[in-house]
């Protein structure tokens, strides 16, 4: 098993000496960042008295005893269950929309983020802007993920820079709407190639890097972005899109079953309406995201609004952190209740 240092985390060897816990190594391996945070800025009113592992599945508590009071007052310290700090993350379709929201939130929470999309200038500009606005390191790796050559090229460039990948967010997607009798072949192929073929082969090509990051205590993660249109009957005539998203959800289950024993957890998020270029075209805003009244769309949603960065990113962070490490093969909606309230 590799140590925190070998995985590239900040570590503090003094910790090992300071804690007299028999299972300290276990704690150290699982929560190296937390250990460093807690000990580099220790609370003055408490002393680490005892650290123990409650069970062998990563549940650990640190017991604090108040200094000087000699009382029996003890507080249970919660490890940072939702940390994604220092996690190397690739967000496909990260140049705008939902992918950009996830990339921004991951940067804000200390992950190192790679984004990829076809239009190189847009991808580069987004990476630069996100880095400015949210800090950390955001790197642009443009490429066409609907084609194998494009996927190979992106993964090769990622491999040149990193020896592991902790989190893959398969978000890039395309949609097509047309009446049933006019629905063209290109509207079928483009959507399936991006949403299903691209997602599968990007995951396949990233597996060697994901395997490098995967441990029993902290699996590497794949989060696929599906859609509520892959669960309930869509309102639009977007036949290939809805079928592709149902495929994403099923592929998520199958990949999860195949990869869970390799300590790679695969899950999916099925978003409802989010204010992006893709939805803007569908609802008649002509691709505009800013300067349009999204509340018109939001009013039709059970929660009375469209989704936000916090909504989608919060769920992605859960699935990518310690908190989500026992959630496998699930498709979780992030839709304000639109599936729950559909007939
Ligand atoms: N917005 C919603 O309401 C909603 C609801 C449910 C599900 N979703 C899903 O959420 C995901 C993101 O959607 P969004 O609304 O944010 O869409 P969006 O605004 O159209 O963004 C799509 C992103 O994917 C990239 N992309 C498209 N085709 C690509 C390809 N062949 N190779 C690489 N990158 C590609 C785009 O950049 P380039 O064009 O430069 O390549 C862009 O960065 C999609 O999977 C979508 O199906 C969205």
Q: What is the pLDDT of residues 131-143, one digit of tens each?
A: 999 999 999 999 9
Q: Is the CB of 79 under 6 A from ligand 1?
A: no
Ramachandran class of 58: left when φ > 0, alpha when ψ lies in -120 to 50, beta otherwise: left
pLDDT at residue number 79: 66
Q: How far is CA 323 from the centre of its chain?
A: 13
- Residue stretches of the chain with pLDDT short of 50: 1-76
Q: Residue 251: what are its φ and ψ, rounded to 5°?
A: -60, -35
Q: 233 is written with which tokens? A: 């009957």
Q: Is the CB of 307 under 6 A from ligand 1?
A: no
77 C-alpha to ligand 1 centroid (Å):
40
Residues designated catalytic: 241
pLDDT tens profile 14-56: 333 333 333 344 444 444 444 433 433 333 333 343 333 332 2
Ligand 1 atom nearest the C-alpha of 241 is 47
pLDDT at residue number 116: 98
Q: Is the CB of 311 under 6 A from ligand 1?
A: no
195 C-alpha to ligand 1 centroid (Å):
9
7 C-alpha to ligand 1 centroid (Å):
31
pLDDT at residue number 218: 96
Which residue CA neighbors atom 41 of ligand 1 most closely?
118
Q: Is the CB of 83 under 6 A from ligand 1?
A: no
40 C-alpha to ligand 1 centroid (Å):
41
Pocket test for ligand 1, best of 97, 141, 225 (most atoms within 8 A of CB): 97
173 C-alpha to ligand 1 centroid (Å):
4
Domain 88-334 classification at class level: alpha beta
pLDDT at residue number 32: 44
pLDDT at residue number 343: 76
**Which segments of the chain belong to CATH 3.40.50.720?**
88-334
Which residue CA neighbors atom 43 of ligand 1 most closely?
93
Q: Is the CB of 331 under 6 A from ligand 1?
A: no
Provide the β-strand partners of residue 270. Answer: 333
Ligand 1 atom nearest the C-alpha of 306 is 3
Q: 259 is written with which tokens? A: 């990869």
Q: Is the pTM of this model over 0.85?
A: no
Cβ neighbours for 230, distance < 8 A, ≥ 6 positions apart: 242, 243, 244, 245, 246, 247, 248, 249, 270, 331
Distances (CA, A) of 313 to 43, 169, 253, 271, 316: 30, 11, 21, 11, 5
Q: Is the CB of 273 under 6 A from ligand 1?
A: yes
pLDDT at residue number 72: 39
- At residue 157, the 3 state secondary structure works out as helix
Q: Is the CB of 122 under 6 A from ligand 1?
A: yes
């Amino acid at each position: 098993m590799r140590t925190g240092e070998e995985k590239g985390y900040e570590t503090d060897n003094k910790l090992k000496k300071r804690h007299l816990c028999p299972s300290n190594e276990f704690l150290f391996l699982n929560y190296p960042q937390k250990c460093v945070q807690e000990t580099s800025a220790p609370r003055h009113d408490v002393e680490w008295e005892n650290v123990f592992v409650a069970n062998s599945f990563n549940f650990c508590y640190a017991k604090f005893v108040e200094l000087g009071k000699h009382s029996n007052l003890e507080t249970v310290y919660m490890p940072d269950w939702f940390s994604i700090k220092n996690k190397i993350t690739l967000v496909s379709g990260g140049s705008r929309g939902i992918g950009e929201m996830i990339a921004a939130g991951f940067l804000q929470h200390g992950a190192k983020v790679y984004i990829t999309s076809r239009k190189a200038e847009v991808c580069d500009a987004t990476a630069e802007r996100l880095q400015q606005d949210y800090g950390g390191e955001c790197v642009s790796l443009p490429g066409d993920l609907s084609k194998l050559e494009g996927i190979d090229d992106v993964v090769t460039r990622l491999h040149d820079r990193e020896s592991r990948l902790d989190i893959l967010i398969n978000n890039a997607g395309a949609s097509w709407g047309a009446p049933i009798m006019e629905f063209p072949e290109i509207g079928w192929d483009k959507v399936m190639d991006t949403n299903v073929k691209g997602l599968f082969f990007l995951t396949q090509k990233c597996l060697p890097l994901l395997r490098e990051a995967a441990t029993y205590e902290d699996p590497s993660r794949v989060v696929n972005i599906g859609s509520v249109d892959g669960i309930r009957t869509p309102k639009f005539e977007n036949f290939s899109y809805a079928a592709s998203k149902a495929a994403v959800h099923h592929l998520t289950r199958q990949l999860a079953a195949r990869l869970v024993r390799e300590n790679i957890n695969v899950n999916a998020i099925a978003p409802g309406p989010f204010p992006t270029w893709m939805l803007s075209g569908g609802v008649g805003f002509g691709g505009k995201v800013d300067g349009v009244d999204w509340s018109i769309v939001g009013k039709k949603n059970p929660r009375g609004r469209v989704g936000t960065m916090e909504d989608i990113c919060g769920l992605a962070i859960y699935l990518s952190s310690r908190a989500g490490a026992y959630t496998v093969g699930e498709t979780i909606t992030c839709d304000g209740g639109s599936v729950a309230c559909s007939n």
